[in-house]
Amino acid sequence: MLSDSTILVTGGTGSFGHAFVPMTLARHNPKKIIILSRDEMKQWEMAKLFKDDPRIRFFLGDIRDRERLYRALDGVDYVVHAAATKIVPTAEYNPFECIKTNVIGAMNLIDACIDKRIKKVVALSTDKASSPINLYGASKLASDKLFVAGNAYSGGHDTAFSVVRYGNVMGSRGSVIPFFMSIRDTGVLPITDARMTRFMISLEQGVELVWHAFEDMIGGEIYVKKIPSMKVTDVAQVVAPSARQEIIGVRPGEKLHEQMIGIEDAPFTFEYDEHFKILPSINDWATSQERIKDGRKVDADFVYSSETNDEWMRQDELRAWVERNKEKLGAF
pLDDT of residue 167: 81
Indicate which residue of 116, 120, 128, 255 is catalytic: 128
Q: At what angle do helices 40-49 and 15-28 cross, to 10 degrees?
A: 30
What are the phi and psi torsion angles at 109 (to 5°)? -65, -40
Active site residue 128: yes
The contacts of residue 144 (CB under 8 Å, 6+ apart) are: 123, 125, 129, 163, 165, 222
* Alpha helices per DSSP H over 217-270: 232-239
- Report DSSP state, residue 175: S
- 3-state DSSP percent of the chain in helix, strand and coil, to 5: 40, 20, 35
The reported pTM is: 0.96
Is residue 277 within 8 A of residue 224, CB to CB? The reply is yes
Domains detected in the chain: 6-325 (3.40.50.720)
Question: Mapping DSSP to helix (H, G, I), strand (E, B) and coil, where does residue 208 land?
Answer: helix
Mean pLDDT, contiguous 10-residue spans, the chain (332 residues) = 96 95 97 98 96 94 98 98 94 96 98 97 97 96 97 89 92 87 93 95 96 98 97 96 93 90 97 97 92 97 97 96 83 68
pLDDT of residue 157: 83
User: Going by DSSP bridges, is the β-strand pair 275-278/222-225 parallel, antiparallel, or unpaired?
Assistant: antiparallel
pLDDT of residue 174: 80
pLDDT of residue 331: 66
Compute the distance between CA of residue 309 and CA of residue 316 in angstroms, rounded to an integer: 19
